[in-house]
Chains A and B, each alone.
Chain A
Amino acid sequence: MTMQATVQPLPAEWRDFFALTKPRVMSLVIFTGLCGLLAAPKTIDPVLGFTAILCIAIGAGGAAALNQWWEADIDAGMKRTAGRPLPAGRMDRTSARDFGGLLSAASVFVMGFAISWLAAAILALSIVYYAVVYTIWLKPRTPQNIVIGGGAGAFPPLIGWVAATGDITLMPIVLFAIIFFWTPPHFWALALFVQSDYAKVGIPMMPVVAGEKSTRRQILLYAVLLLPLSMLPWWLGETGAVYGVSAAVLSGLFLLLSIRVGLRVRQPEGDRMKPEKQLFAFSIIYLFALFAALVADHWLIGQGAQP
């Protein structure tokens, strides 16, 4: 009779659970959520404000964990994501699913009990939108995945605003729309220089399905639409000139970089995709700077903040 030694796999480190929450993406989520909360015309108790942002961050982390649980096989096939805890074999899928579900549920319930059930309902909607509508339904099926799925990332300022004011008005919907229209050029710039990875795992990203030329034209289209949209809060009289001028400059630069990408043809060999990488890098700075200008404008001009 032979004795077979059963080797139990090691449990995952806490750092791997933390990595599941996509901390870098979370930083943008926290920032835009905080800006929505701070730019709102009503102030909120600092403890409740902190709790609202914490819930937004934990909800985003939970949705990210669920996304990685579902996409573990896809992530394993791409260089950019192969080192994540699940494809690298440092964690089992059940743990990732349970962790994501727990974070998502906890964030919604704490938001509901501590802040408001309207904010909690929008947070729940954003989690379902990202983890189910985008990850499970749209991403593997349509090259428009990022356009519709971009809505998931557009929720944080809306939730922050609703947490502070308790209701939905036109302004938080405009903030939602800004991120919604910013997402396709941001993500397609990335998809242009990592498209071989997406093609390998069968994800129908725009450059893979519609080709580079069409993707570049659509990047340009969204950048053109983003310029007036980003200035809408100023035209509506919701912000002052600090935001208006910042939005015009930032969106103008965004458009210039998008024109370079939109009208460009890739070199057959040795193209380092520098304009695309520049647009992707600037798009992140753009969103941080635009929302920072929104808060700075609100504080400098003090437009009607009420307790």
Chain B
Amino acid sequence: MTDPIDSPRDPDAERKRIQRSRNRVVGLLLGGFVILVYFISIAKMH
């Protein structure tokens, strides 16, 4: 039996993990940008 710690990671699973974490960061950045644009619009009105 192979110890799961010693066995190399499945490339597909690794690819999915990286893509998920990248998508999460891009989502956060886009959300932050939308909030920023909202506040800029309010600040520019004053």
- Is chain B a partner of chain A in the same complex? yes
Q: Knowing A51-B36, A114-B44, say if A13 contacts B21 (CB, 8 Å).
A: yes
- Do A10 and B11 have beta carbons less than 8 Å apart? yes
Chain B contacts for A13, CB-based, 8 A: 18, 21-22
Q: Is A48's CB under 8 angstroms from B22's CB?
A: no
Chain B residues near A114 (CB-CB < 8 A): 40, 44
List, in ascending order, chain A residues with CB within 8 A of B14's CB.
10
Residue contact B40 to A47, C-beta cutoff 8 Å: yes
Asked if B43 contacts A47 (CB within 8 A), the reply is: yes
Chain A residues near B22: list those with CB within 8 A: 11, 13-14
Whole-angstrom distance between the alpha carbons of A51 and B39 in the complex? 10
B36-A11 in contact (CB<8A): no
A36 to B5, CA, bound (A): 52
* Chain A residues in 8 Å Cβ range of B1: none
- Closest residue of chain B to A44, judged by CB? B43
Chain A hits for B19, CB < 8 A: 11
Of residues 1 through 31 on chain B, the ones whose CB sits less than 8 Å from some CB of chain A are: 11, 14-15, 18-19, 21-22, 25
Assess whether A14 is in contact with B25, with CB atoms less than 8 Å apart. Answer: yes
Chain B binding surface, main DSSP class: helix
Chain B residue with minimal CB distance to A45? B43
A12 to B11, CA, bound (A): 13
Query: Is B42 touching A47 in the complex (CB atoms < 8 A)?
Result: yes
Q: In the assembled complex, which residues on chain A have CB atoms less than 8 Å from the CB atom of B15?
A: 8, 10-11
CB neighbours of A8 from chain B (8 A) = 11, 15
The CA-CA distance from A12 to B43 in the complex, in Å, is: 37
Q: Cβ of B44: which chain A residues have Cβ within 8 Å of it?
A: 48, 114
Closest chain A residue to B25, Cβ basis: A14
Given A10-B11, A10-B15, A11-B18, answer yes or no on A47-B25 (Cβ-Cβ < 8 Å): no
CB of A123 to closest CB in B, whole Å: 16
Residues of B with C-beta under 8 A to A7: 11
Shortest CB-to-CB span from B8 to chain A, Å, is 12
A7 to B15, CA, bound (A): 12
Contacts of B21 in A (CB 8 A): 13-14
Chain B residue nearest in CB terms to A48: B43
Known: A8-B15, A51-B36. 7 other contacts (CB 8 A): A7-B11, A8-B11, A10-B11, A10-B15, A11-B15, A11-B22, A48-B43
Pairs across A and B, CB under 8 Å, 25 listed: A7-B11, A8-B15, A10-B11, A10-B14, A10-B15, A10-B18, A11-B15, A11-B18, A11-B19, A12-B18, A13-B18, A13-B21, A13-B22, A14-B21, A14-B22, A45-B43, A47-B40, A48-B40, A48-B43, A48-B44, A51-B36, A51-B40, A54-B36, A114-B40, A114-B44
Q: Using a CB–CB distance below 8 Å, which chain A residues touch chain B?
A: 7-8, 10-14, 45, 47-48, 51, 54, 114
